[in-house]
Structure 1
Amino acid sequence: MVNVAIGPILEEIGQIIAEIVDGDPNGSYLYAEAEQGFQAPTLFKDHGDHIICYRPNIELCDAIEKLWEIEPDDKKWQAMRYEVEDNRFNARFEFPDELNPDEWVDDRLERAVAERYGDRPITYPKPDGTYQTLTLDDFPDDDETGPS
């Protein structure tokens, strides 16, 4: 039986994608993986002669988590490919037994992108300056955090 509650969440994901790509979601492709407490979405949009990778926002991560959580434990997917073409979305799901457990998420993402776009150029976002480099000085000594 199909979980009818996922339809509105999939539509919400499409609306969030439209916001992220500044309006028109046509040509968008989302590859996302999820499991308990973890979402790894990567969003692309085809601009004809090149592809742009967009940063996901917290709303997209929350919607993916909601979509994953709504499924019963025996029906939980691990990867989703979400495409928008001609103002319609198509979502395909892959389940844990369909994926190689020895691969990393990045390996599967790389393959999904190659299947979708071949060797077309992709522009990735640059760090936005909110990153911080941590050193060992940023962490307390073990004896400061242990029981007293």
Structure 2
Amino acid sequence: MSDDKLNKFGDLYREIGRELAAIVGDPDKTLLYVEADEGWVGPNVFKDEGNQIRYFDPSRKLTDLLFEVWTAEDPDKRWSAMEYTITGTKFTVEFVFPEKFGDDFDNDERRELVLQRHYGDKPRVYPPPGDMGWLLRELN
């Protein structure tokens, strides 16, 4: 993240880090992968637990903070994807802008590529589907 972006949005990015800590506990080794476009943001929260990667449901507050930081950008400087990583007590933020996003992959495929780059083949643990989730099964 550039210094001018940190000066302009640093408080929001620090608040995002605090909210990640509220979601995962100790935020060390946490990855927030977000895709956004006009009217929506799609956050994904992952934490490296050593032998596995755990997915955490994002909070409404996190989603609101991400939408706030995305819409606060000048429209011609808005990102399509963001990787927010926490290591120890420091965070880094990387952006992918629309011109580099491409249409080669969908959201799930892009997220998987990001997870592969960060965590390799470590197993991923997702929570069971909630009341609003769908359980898919193979039909014989």
TM-score normalised by structure 2 residue count: 0.88
**Aligned pairs for 1:68-87 within 5 A:** 68-87=70-89
C-alpha distance in structure 2 between counterparts of 1:131 and 1:123, whole Å: 16
2:10 maps to amino acid: G
Give the Cα separation in 2 of the matches to 1:130 and 1:9. Answer: 30
Q: Identity of counterpart residues, as a percentage?
A: 36
Q: Offset of 1:131 from its aligned partner?
A: 4.3
In structure 1, distance between residues paired with 2:103 and 2:68? 23
Larger Rg: 1
| CA distance in 2: counterparts of 1:44 and 1:103, whole angstroms | 20
Moved more, 1-10 or 46-55: 1-10
Matches of 1:52 and 1:96 in 2, distance apart? 28
Q: Which amino acid aligns with 2:16?
A: I
Aligned equivalent of 2:109, options 107, 110, 124? 107
- Could you tell me which residue of structure 2 aligns to residue 39 of structure 1? 41
Q: What 5-or-longer segments of structure 2 have no aligned partner?
A: 136-140
Report what 1:7 is aligned to.
Answer: 10
Secondary structure of the equivalent of 2:82? strand
TM-score (norm 1): 0.83
Q: Deviations over 1:25-53 (max 9, x none)?
A: 00100100111111111000011111100
Q: CA RMSD in A?
A: 1.7
Instruction: For structure 1, list consecutive stretches of 5 or more residues without a partner in the other structure.
Output: 134-148
